[in-house]
């Protein structure tokens, strides 16, 4: 006697967290049943395998029906089909959009294209994340990116509102989007080829450009950086550099857009191109750090190289091709030299503090505010990235 | 021209993409009522259109208002081709037609398409301006309230319960009309949905007319069903109980107590007019069944009765004169009634005097095309016959009324089994006629039999019993006779004294039948029916005894007919009634006593049975109080003194001696095992697995023995279709398959709901259908309610040895349970002897101090109440409940509109008539919805399971949306009356019809009520017992 049809529908939709997890991980019904069996549910509840199968199938069907709504979480709140208590809804969304960091790290620097999706098999094998789960997470990234791509306002808040994610998770997504891991949009592809991108008058263009410029993250020398490192860097860049661009309503309309910010960064070159300024800067920093830092000699020897690297990274940000080298440059020209000279993180912190503060006392340097805003993010990134 | 219907289309959201090119939709809306149609403008290129239309006004008759549904169709405008329909919304505007219910329907409704399901939502506002019309020849019955609830709704008081109303209308089924061959499935489905909506409206209006003729103002226990007779047509029939209800309004709270019932009755013409059960002639169901080729009118006459008792008892003269008197009084009220039937299952305290037993009748009919839909004489006659039969069965039991009455059909091809069943009962005439309250009150005092056991006392004449029965003196009051087993279709009366907990008991049965045509088929079915009934009852009896219980409530026997078999499924809730004798065990007797191994086997089985009984007794906490000798030996003072029964001292001492004689006699139930069949039966008895720990289940409103519900509820519907794959099925294998199917389904429910433990599945309602040759479909709707285990334990620790006291405490506790009360318990039972007995017992008799402490709070509370009652005069106690400052305060509190959040409001659904931990403050109207869903891409929608899962979820969603639009937050007495599923996997097609109903209500959490300042305890009404139960 086989059951052809077997459904259970509650007025309040039953959500079994364990089964949801199994479904999210991409297990088939049979696999899920096997796993639940291993979990010892039979012994606990004294039931039969048939019951477990029927229960699992019911949940899977529910999740499949819910998935459509999960793609646009605000619809989950408004829909009438499933009556789900708010805290359960939140759980559904959060778990659905949660991602494996290992996977995110793998995908950093790759296009969210069909080609990448086809490579997910390998990614799955490398990371141990199930292939179906990989595809779902990949689609999530793609969906979030697409949804906020053309929106004004702070990225993280937009994502939070559009996908009803908790702030921390929304910030992670924002970081991913921001760090421009994926250039999906053909119409922006053109920018990447342009030496000097034609910024549109629309405010968001700069940030979309920035996002699409795809920081290089896949290079071998960047392998030691985790997804968390990149996310943190992206977050500090957003925090310090983009408040104007990301919240244009809040800013003066003609004011501080990243477009102008990035353009303005070129002005900072004076710090390294003007020999006087460079020397004065060096002496100010060195005098402040003498005796306080264990690697004083190395600092003195390398100051000019370091300063050049730090300033030039910013100067290159307006060029799409160079933007992608942002992290590579930081690692190659700052982190690696310091590491070989055995700077401690404390040394680096102290140096950056004084290095940032010193120009205040430089006569004839007029970009103090810009400089500090720029350095705040750079310092945060460096400190985050300065590990083994 | 008594009404103006106004409709406004506000907006839509989440519409489907209708234009692939632009990924958008150009939506507009058609609003249709009767033959008038309005259209909104096209809102171009949007999935979230904002129409903000003007008010569309329809000027219509109230007759039309009652019959017609409002039809809203959302379409996609197409310049070049025909406009595509997106979906429809049908809105029943009936709730707007009576003043006390909803005033406006406003909210988001799912847009439903019979092929695609829900496709977005539409925001609609509907209002009705009704003009008063005093035309006495009117055909409408606006203003009559309908309730699915089978008890007096919580915020009403029954002034008069008039009795049975029924009606049926027939029509051709659009699915079977010639035009169906050329129209699309969608058009055909919509025609059907619309027709059924129209027919239910008409039916409700006609029933309403009958109620008005009876001078009633409401129908309670309204049950409407569809018979899809296929070729021969579509029948919509309904039964209900006409009542005159009085709203327990909070405004009358501070009126002088003496004004209420009697005065109102004098003022109100409704109540004073003669309430003879009149019916309009043209509607009379008595027609001669002419021209129909009805053959094989078979009906089974009450095999139940055989089991209402066994053995013999001595004649008791004490009840005689009293009963005769009573019968005379009630008969006068009931005899004029054609059918003294009541669809109620729960009654106001004091309404139900005695219960006789289950009466049922079935009849097999051959369906014939209904030639003239305007004269549904044949179907009417069929039902009239069955009802007559039921009536005569009840008479045979010495009862003048039938309560918990219901009717059902099972159709397979052209054969139809009509079934009716109910519980024969003797009722208190107080509610049935328009006597003055004073008279009634006198009478009631005289009648007052001890609460908690009165309904068990036999109504029939002991010298002239309609069937062999084993009578004993009531174990509670020791004054009147009771049968040893009681079967009923009603809910457990609140005042009943129960030992331990109850449990769901099911009898399951399959019988093979040869495939046959027409009359031969009908004959073979009618021949099988009595055997099935007999076996179902044997199974029930055995299972009841196996659980050590002695009464069944909520008994529902469903016999389903299929192509090649009949299936019987009986569900009931078993309990141990303290008033009835302890059931004897089950003894197995073998036919071949000489065979040694056989003997061994028998004894082994006997042992197993005994073990099961013992285990069950423990599980359900059935430890009936052993009656101490002194109680039996000495006259029992309290009840006799206080319940002023018409009897003398000497008579009662006679009884006591008689009682001693009958006491030791406990007949064991003997099962003879004479062949393998019987062996199988015994085996199957033992296969029923008790629910896992933490679970209880019942099919009644409340679980006997649990009274501390917590507010968490989960209503659900589960459907299973299984293939009986045996090539050569026998009755045994079929039985086993069927049994396994039901048991597995229950098991699966327990597993699904394991997170709610401790909880109880209430109102478990199984429906069996045989859609095809080897397919069995079982649908279950029930509600899981959590309860507080700790409190339950405490309640169980209540002293059992002091049976008298415990009984009253129990009684009191149950009376305290506020949701089970249709009206204030104290007001209607002001002189309940139990309370006084308890008071007396606690203050005078020797209860150990510790025990008294434990009961202290209870006793104090009861004392308090007793004082409250004494303070009021006898005549006015009924209005006491209204003198509630709490209610007044609450009213003020409620005036703050409940939150209008942007998120979807939660709507609870339950098959029960109440919500635990909540108080229903308003009934908004009946919900009665019929949906068809069809697919031609079954595989793509996830197969049959995916298809039905989505459809049931959609039905729930639409019910919730309608309730929310009425301003409600719950549906009570929800029932899925029909779920007809058909599939054709080869064509990748499936179709399903679902019919649901319930009462839309507004409830308020008791915790919210408690937050209000609690008034001085003396002024506190007994009804608001939230502070006691929690």
Chain A interface disruption, residue of B87, B757, B949, most A CBs within 10 A: B949
Residue B134: per-residue pLDDT: 53
List the single residue in B752, B907, B908 with the smallest CB-CB distance to A14. Answer: B752
Chain A interface disruption, residue of B113, B118, B565, B752, most A CBs within 10 A: B752
List the single residue in A4, A9, A75 with the smallest CB-CB distance to B949. Answer: A9
Task: Round the average pLDDT of chain A to a whole number and report it.
Answer: 77
B443-470 average pLDDT score: 64
B627-643 average pLDDT score: 39
B942·A61 Cβ contact <8 A: yes
A39-47 average pLDDT score: 79
Contact (CB, 8 A) for B247 and B158: no
| CB < 8 Å to B945, chain A | 5-7, 57, 61
Tens of pLDDT, residue by residue over A233-280, are 777 776 777 654 444 444 333 333 455 677 778 888 888 888 888 888
Tens of pLDDT, residue by residue over B92-101, are 888 888 766 6
Distance from CA of A29 to the nearest CA of B (A): 14
B751·A51 Cβ contact <8 A: yes
- Residues 6 or more apart whose CB falls under 8 angstroms from that of B942 comprise A61, A64, B949, B950
Helix, strand, or coil here: B59? strand
- Which range (A266-275, B51-60, B163-172, B299-308) has the least confidence? B299-308
Q: Tokens 């009884």: give the residue.
A: B655
B952·A9 Cβ contact <8 A: yes
Residue B619: per-residue pLDDT: 83
Among residues of chain B, what percentage have pLDDT more than 90?
24
B505-532 average pLDDT score: 87
DSSP string, A147-207: HHTT--S-HHHHHHHHH---HHHHHHHHHHHHTT-----HHHHHHHH-SS----SSTHHHH
Name the pLDDT band for B903 (thresholds 50, 70, 90). Answer: low
Tens of pLDDT, residue by residue over B238-282, are 999 998 888 876 533 333 333 333 333 333 333 222 223 222 222
Comparing alpha-carbon positions, the chain A residue that sits nearest to B960 is A80
Cβ-count burial of B772 within 10 angstroms (0-12 exposed, 13-18 middle, 19+ buried)?
A: middle
List the single residue in A57, A58, A65 with the smallest CB-CB distance to B950. Answer: A65
Residue B371: per-residue pLDDT: 62
Chain A interface disruption, residue of B763, B945, B960, B962, most A CBs within 10 A: B945
A9·B110 Cβ contact <8 A: no
Which is nearest to A83 in space by CA: A166, A189, A11?
Answer: A11
| CB < 8 Å to A65, chain B | 949-950, 953
B48-67 average pLDDT score: 89
| CB < 8 Å to A89, chain B | none
Chain A interface disruption, residue of B118, B733, B904, most A CBs within 10 A: B904
| CB < 8 Å to A75, chain B | 14
Distance from CA of A36 to the nearest CA of B (A): 13
Tens of pLDDT, residue by residue over A311-340, are 888 877 766 566 667 778 888 888 888 888
Distance from CA of B752 to the nearest CA of A (A): 7
Name the pLDDT band for B526 (thresholds 50, 70, 90). Answer: confident
List the single residue in B121, B949, B956 with the smallest CB-CB distance to A61. Answer: B949
Comparing alpha-carbon positions, the chain B residue that sits nearest to A49 is B748
A55·B751 Cβ contact <8 A: yes
Helix, strand, or coil here: B45? coil
B719·A5 Cβ contact <8 A: yes
| CB < 8 Å to A85, chain B | 906
Comparing alpha-carbon positions, the chain A residue that sits nearest to B740 is A1
Give first-to-last CA distance, chain B, whole Å: 52
Comparing alpha-carbon positions, the chain A residue that sits nearest to B720 is A6
| CB < 8 Å to B940, chain A | none
- Residues 6 or more apart whose CB falls under 8 angstroms from that of A315 comprise A265, A266, A268, A269
Residue B464: per-residue pLDDT: 64
List the single residue in A4, A6, A7 with the smallest CB-CB distance to B952. Answer: A7
> Residue B522 carries which DSSP code?
H
ipTM over 0.90: no
pLDDT reading at B825 higher than 90? no
| CB < 8 Å to B720, chain A | 3, 5-7
Helix, strand, or coil here: A211? helix
pLDDT reading at B983 higher than 50? yes
C-alpha radius of gyration, chain B, whole number: 29
Name the pLDDT band for A178 (thresholds 50, 70, 90). Answer: low
Name every residue in A having a CB less than 8 A away from some CB of B: 1-14, 45-48, 50-52, 54-55, 57-58, 61-62, 64-65, 75, 77-83, 85-86
- Residues 6 or more apart whose CB falls under 8 angstroms from that of B109 comprise B72, B89, B91, B121, B122, B123, B124, B958, B961, B962, B965
Distance CA B294, CA B378 (A): 9
List the single residue in A5, A10, A82 with the smallest CB-CB distance to B720. Answer: A5
For B754, the token pair is 């394991």
Distance from CA of A355 to the nearest CA of B (A): 52
Tens of pLDDT, residue by residue over B645-690, are 333 333 333 333 232 323 333 344 555 555 556 666 676 667 677 8
B812-838 average pLDDT score: 36
Residue A191: per-residue pLDDT: 31
| CB < 8 Å to B950, chain A | 65
B714·A52 Cβ contact <8 A: no
Distance CA A128, CA A109 (A): 20
B721·A83 Cβ contact <8 A: no
Contact (CB, 8 A) for B228 and B173: yes
Q: How crowded is the C-beta side of B893, counted as CA atoms within 13 Å?
A: 16
Comparing alpha-carbon positions, the chain A residue that sits nearest to B949 is A7
Alpha carbon of B180 to those of B173, B185, B931, B984, B987: distances in Å? 10, 8, 18, 18, 18
Distance from CA of A325 to the nearest CA of B (A): 39
| CB < 8 Å to B716, chain A | 8-11
Helix, strand, or coil here: A333? helix
Name the more confident of B364 and B812.
B364
The torsion of the CA quartet B82, B84, B90, B93, rounded to 10 degrees, works out to -50
pLDDT reading at B48 higher than 60? yes
List the single residue in A9, A64, A65 with the smallest CB-CB distance to B716. Answer: A9
pLDDT reading at A77 higher than 60? yes
B956·A11 Cβ contact <8 A: yes
CA angle at B32 for the pair B29 and B37, rounded to the nearest 5° = 85
Distance from CA of A249 to the nearest CA of B (A): 26
Query: pTM of the prediction?
Result: 0.77
Helix, strand, or coil here: B50? strand
List the single residue in A10, A54, A57 with the smallest CB-CB distance to B716. Answer: A10
B14·A2 Cβ contact <8 A: no
Distance CA B688, CA B44 (A): 61
Among residues of chain B, what percentage have pLDDT more than 70?
66
Alpha carbon of A6 to those of B699, B776, B778: distances in Å? 22, 12, 10
pLDDT reading at A207 higher than 70? no
| CB < 8 Å to A54, chain B | 748
Name the pLDDT band for B1012 (thresholds 50, 70, 90). Answer: low
| CB < 8 Å to B118, chain A | 80-81
Tens of pLDDT, residue by residue over B149-170, are 998 888 888 888 888 999 988 8
| CB < 8 Å to B692, chain A | 45-47
Extended beta strands in B877-959, E state? 908-909, 918-935
A2·B748 Cβ contact <8 A: no
Comparing alpha-carbon positions, the chain A residue that sits nearest to B120 is A79
Is the peptide bond prior to A121 cis by the omega test (within 30 degrees of 0)? no
């Amino acid at each position: 006697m086989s059951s052809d049809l077997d459904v259970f529908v509650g007025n309040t939709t039953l959500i079994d967290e364990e089964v949801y997890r199994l479904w999210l991980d991409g297990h088939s019904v049979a696999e899920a049943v096997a796993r639940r069996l291993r979990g010892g549910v039979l012994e606990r509840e004294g039931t039969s395998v048939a019951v477990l199968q029927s229960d699992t199938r019911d949940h899977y069907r529910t999740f499949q029906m819910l998935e459509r709504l999960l793609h646009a979480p605000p619809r989950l709140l408004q829909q009438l089909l499933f009556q789900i208590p708010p805290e359960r809804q939140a759980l559904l969304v959060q778990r659905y959009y949660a991602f494996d960091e290992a996977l995110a790290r793998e995908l950093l620097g790759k296009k969210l294209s069909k080609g990448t999706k086809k490579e997910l098999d390998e990614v799955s094998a490398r990371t141990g994340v199930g292939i179906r789960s990989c595809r779902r997470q990949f689609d999530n990234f793609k969906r979030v990116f697409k949804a906020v791509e053309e929106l004004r306002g702070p990225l993280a808040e937009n994502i939070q509102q559009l996908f009803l994610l908790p702030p921390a998770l929304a910030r992670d997504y924002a970081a991913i989007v921001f760090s421009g891991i994926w250039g999906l949009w053909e119409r922006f592809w053109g920018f990447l080829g342009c030496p000097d991108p034609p910024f549109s008058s629309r405010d968001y263009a700069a940030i979309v450009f920035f996002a699409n410029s795809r920081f290089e993250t896949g290079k071998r020398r960047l392998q030691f950086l985790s997804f968390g490192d990149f996310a943190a860097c992206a977050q500090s860049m957003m925090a310090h550099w983009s408040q104007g661009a990301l919240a244009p309503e809040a800013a003066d309309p003609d004011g501080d857009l990243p477009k102008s910010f990035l353009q303005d960064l070129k002005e900072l070159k004076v710090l390294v191109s003007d020999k006087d300024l460079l020397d004065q800067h060096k002496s100010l920093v060195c005098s402040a750090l003498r005796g306080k830092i264990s690697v004083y000699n190395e600092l003195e020897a390398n100051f000019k190289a370091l300063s050049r690297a730090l300033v030039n990274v910013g100067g290159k940000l307006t060029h799409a091709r160079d933007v992608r080298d942002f992290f590579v440059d930081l690692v190659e020209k700052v982190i690696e030299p310091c590491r070989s000279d055995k700077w401690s993180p404390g040394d680096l912190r102290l140096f950056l503090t004084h290095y940032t503060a010193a120009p205040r006392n430089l006569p004839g340097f007029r970009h103090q505010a810009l400089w500090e805003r720029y350095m705040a993010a750079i310092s945060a990134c460096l400190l985050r990235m300065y590990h083994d | 021209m008594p009404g103006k219907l106004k409709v406004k289309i506000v907006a839509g959201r989440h519409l489907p993409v209708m234009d692939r090119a632009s990924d958008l939709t150009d939506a507009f809306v058609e609003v249709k009522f009767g033959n008038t149609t309005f259209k909104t403008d096209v809102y171009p290129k949007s999935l979230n259109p904002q129409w903000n239309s003007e008010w569309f006004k329809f000027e219509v008759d109230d007759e039309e208002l009652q019959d017609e549904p409002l039809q809203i169709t959302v379409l996609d405008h197409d310049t070049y081709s025909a406009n595509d329909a997106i979906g429809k919304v049908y809105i029943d505007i009936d709730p707007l037609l009576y003043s006390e219910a909803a005033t406006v329907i406003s909210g988001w409704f799912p847009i439903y398409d019979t092929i695609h399901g829900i496709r977005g939502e539409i925001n609609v506002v509907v209002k009705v301006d009704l003009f008063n019309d005093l035309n006495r020849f009117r055909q409408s019955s606006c203003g009559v309230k309908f309730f699915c609830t089978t008890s007096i709704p919580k915020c009403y008081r029954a002034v008069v319960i008039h009795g049975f109303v029924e009606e049926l209308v027939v029509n051709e089924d659009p699915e079977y009309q010639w035009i169906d061959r050329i129209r699309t499935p969608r058009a055909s489905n919509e025609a059907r949905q619309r027709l059924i909506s129209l027919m239910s409206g008409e039916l409700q209006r006609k029933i309403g007319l009958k109620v008005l003729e009876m001078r009633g103002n409401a129908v309670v226990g309204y049950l409407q069903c569809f018979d899809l007779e296929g070729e021969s047509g579509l029948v919509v029939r309904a039964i209900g109980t006409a009542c005159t209800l009085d709203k327990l309004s909070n405004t009358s709270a501070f009126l002088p107590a003496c004004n209420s019932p009697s005065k109102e009755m004098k003022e109100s013409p409704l109540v004073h007019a003669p309430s003879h059960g009149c019916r309009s002639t043209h509607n009379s169901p008595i027609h001669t069944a002419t021209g129909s080729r009805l053959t094989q009118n078979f009906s089974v006459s009450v095999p139940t009765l055989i089991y209402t008792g066994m053995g013999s008892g001595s004649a008791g003269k004490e009840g005689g004169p009293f009963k005769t008197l009573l019968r005379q009084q009630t008969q006068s009220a009931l005899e004029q009634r054609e059918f003294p039937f009541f669809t109620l299952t729960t009654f106001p305290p004091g309404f139900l005097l005695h219960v006789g037993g289950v009466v049922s009748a079935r009849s097999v009919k051959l369906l014939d095309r209904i030639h003239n839909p305007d004269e549904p004489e044949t179907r009417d006659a069929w039902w009239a016959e069955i009802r007559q039969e039921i009536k005569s069965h009840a008479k045979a039991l010495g009862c003048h009324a039938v309560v918990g009455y219901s009717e059902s059909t099972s159709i397979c091809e052209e054969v139809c089994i009509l079934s009716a069943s109910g519980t024969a009962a003797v009722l208190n005439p107080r509610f049935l006629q328009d006597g003055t309250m004073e008279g009634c009150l006198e009478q009631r005092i005289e009648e007052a039999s001890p609460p908690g056991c009165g309904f068990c006392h036999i109504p029939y004449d002991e010298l002239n019993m309609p069937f062999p029965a084993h009578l004993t003196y009531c174990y509670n009051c020791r004054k009147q006779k009771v049968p040893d087993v009681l079967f009923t279709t009603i809910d457990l009366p609140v005042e009943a004294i129960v030992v331990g907990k109850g449990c769901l008991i099911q009898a399951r049965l399959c019988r093979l039948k040869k495939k046959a045509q027409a009359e031969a088929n009908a004959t073979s079915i009618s021949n099988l029916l009595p055997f099935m009934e007999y076996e179902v009852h044997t199974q029930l009896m055995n299972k009841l005894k196996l659980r050590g219980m002695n009464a069944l409530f909520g008994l529902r026997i469903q016999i389903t007919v299929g192509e090649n078999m009949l299936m019987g499924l009986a569900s009931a809730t078993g309990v141990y009634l303290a008033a009835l004798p302890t059931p004897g065990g089950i003894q197995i007797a073998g036919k071949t006593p000489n065979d040694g191994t056989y003997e061994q086997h028998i004894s082994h089985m006997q042992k197993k049975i005994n073990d099961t009984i013992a285990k069950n007794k423990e599980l359900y906490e059935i430890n009936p109080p052993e009656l101490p000798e002194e109680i039996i030996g000495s006259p029992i003072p309290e009840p006799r003194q206080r319940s002023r029964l018409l009897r003398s001292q000497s008579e009662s001492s006679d009884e006591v001696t008689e009682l001693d004689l009958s006491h030791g006699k406990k007949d064991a139930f003997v099962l003879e095992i004479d062949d393998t069949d019987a062996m199988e039966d015994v085996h199957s008895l033992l296969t029923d697995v008790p629910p896992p720990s933490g679970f209880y289940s019942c099919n009644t409103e409340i679980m006997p023995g649990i009274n501390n519900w917590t507010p968490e509820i989960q209503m659900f519907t589960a459907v299973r279709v299984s293939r009986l794959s045996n090539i050569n099925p026998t009755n045994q294998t079929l039985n086993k398959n069927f049994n396994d199917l039901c048991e597995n389904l229950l098991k699966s429910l327990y597993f699904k709901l394991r997170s709610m433990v401790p909880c109880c599945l209430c109102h478990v309602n199984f429906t069996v259908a045989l859609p095809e040759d080897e397919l069995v479909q079982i649908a279950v709707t029930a509600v899981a309610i959590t309860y507080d285990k700790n409190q339950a334990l405490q309640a169980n620790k209540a002293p059992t040895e002091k049976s008298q006291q415990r009984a009253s405490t129990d009684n009191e506790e149950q009376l305290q349970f506020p949701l089970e009360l249709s009206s204030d318990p104290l007001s209607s039972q002001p002189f309940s002897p139990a309370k006084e007995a308890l008071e007396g017992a606690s203050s005078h008799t020797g209860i150990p101090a510790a025990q008294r402490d434990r009961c202290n709070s209870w006793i104090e509370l009861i004392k308090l109440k007793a004082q409250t009652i004494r303070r009021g005069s006898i005549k006015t106690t009924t209005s006491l409940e209204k003198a509630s400052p709490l209610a007044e305060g609450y009213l003020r509190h409620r005036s703050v509109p409940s939150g209008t959040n942007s998120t979807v409001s939660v709507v609870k659904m339950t098959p029960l008539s109440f919500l635990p931990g909540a108080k229903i403050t308003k009934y908004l109207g009946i919900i009665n919805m019929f949906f068809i869903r069809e697919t031609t891409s079954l595989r793509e929608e996830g197969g049959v399971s995916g298809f039905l899962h989505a459809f049931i979820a959609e039905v729930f969603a639409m019910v919730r949306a309608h309730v929310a639009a009425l301003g409600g937050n719950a549906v009570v007495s929800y029932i899925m009356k029909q779920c007809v599923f058909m599939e054709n996997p080869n064509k990748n097609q499936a179709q399903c019809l679902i019919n649901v109903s319930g009462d839309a209500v507004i409830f308020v959490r008791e915790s919210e009520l408690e937050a209000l300042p609690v008034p001085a305890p003396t002024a506190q009404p007994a009804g608001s017992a939230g502070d006691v139960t929690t």
